[in-house]
Amino acid sequence: MIKAFIFDLDGVITDTAHLHFKAWKWLASEKFGIVIDENMHEQLKGLSRMDSLEKILAIHHLNQKYTVKEKVELTTTKNLYYRKLISDITPRDILPGIVELLEEIKGSSYKLALASASKNAIAILKSLDLFQSFDFIADAAIVKKGKPAPDIYLLAAKGLSVAPENCIGIEDAVSGIQSIKHAHMFAVGVGDKRLLHEADYVVSKTEALTLPNMMQAWNN
């Protein structure tokens, strides 16, 4: 029996992915003199800040070039740039259909949590005027392992006091779908069916993400 819905933020509630990518592109060109390819965009989705940096460095065989301290400084620099990019986010940046969906979920007495890898999640939810909508927000800063590990989704379920098998997780990234499945939850993907093939149910865009559709998919 489904008792709760656990949402990802970037790519499901609002599209901050292109702003993350813009910030990584800037950092890569400014600090390493490299151009990061559009193909990286998809691969970085859902990964933590440090895991994203490691992935970019690995592709260019630069991992060994920087100390842990330098890597922390690089992620801080990226985040300062990213914070400027998200400073003017408003409720108009909520993806289509999401406000209605959150209201429908709450109105049907399901619990609602957020499981974003972003340490900026609370600031973004406040800018979107959605902070009060969630019963629990899992803190990405305290989980041991980022997506695709199940930690953040398990933390969200625990925060709601709901067993993982009674939760539906909603994600746009491959790493996010894997995180939900590793947590033994029903996974709903938003995006390309071929890319998100590990999900239990996929819709192409947020407009198609409705409570009846998800419940029907879960019942099948």
Task: For residue 190, list its beta bridge partners.
Answer: 203
Over the window 172 to 191, marking each residue x when it contacts ligand B16 by CB under 6 A and - when it does not, the resulting string is -x------------------
Give the chain's length: 220
3-state helix, strand, coil in the chain (%, to 5): 50, 10, 40
46 is in an annotated binding site: yes
**Which one of 42-50, 58-66, 128-136, 155-163 is the stretch in contact with ligand B16 (CB under 6 A)?**
42-50
State how far the Cα of 98 lies from the Cα of 208, in Å rounded to an integer.
10
Q: Are 5 and 110 in contact (CB under 8 A)?
A: yes
Q: Which amino acid is at 68?
A: V
Task: Reduce the DSSP state of residue 40 to 3 states and report it.
Answer: helix
Q: Among this protein's residues, is 51 annotated catalytic?
A: no
Over the window 31 to 70, marking each residue x when it contacts Mg ion by CB under 5 A and - when it does not, the resulting string is ---------------x------------------------
Q: Which amino acid is at 133?
A: S
CA 85, 86, 90: angle at the middle one, nearest 5? 135
Query: According to CB under 6 A, which residues from 45 to 104 bind ligand B16?
Result: 45-49, 52, 79
Per CB under 5 A, the list member of 7, 8, 164, 191 interacting with Mg ion is 8
**Which one of 3-11, 30-38, 88-96, 128-136 is the stretch in contact with ligand B16 (CB under 6 A)?**
3-11
Per CB under 6 A, the list member of 8, 136, 178, 186 interacting with ligand B16 is 8
Per CB under 6 A, the list member of 11, 159, 189, 191 interacting with ligand B16 is 11
Q: Strands 4-7 and 111-114, how do they pair?
A: parallel
Catalytic residue among 8, 51, 151, 200: 8
State how far the Cα of 26 lies from the Cα of 11, in Å rounded to an integer.
21
Binding site, annotated residues for Mg(2+): 8, 10, 171-172
Binding site, annotated residues: 8-10, 24, 44-49, 52, 78, 116-120, 147, 171-172
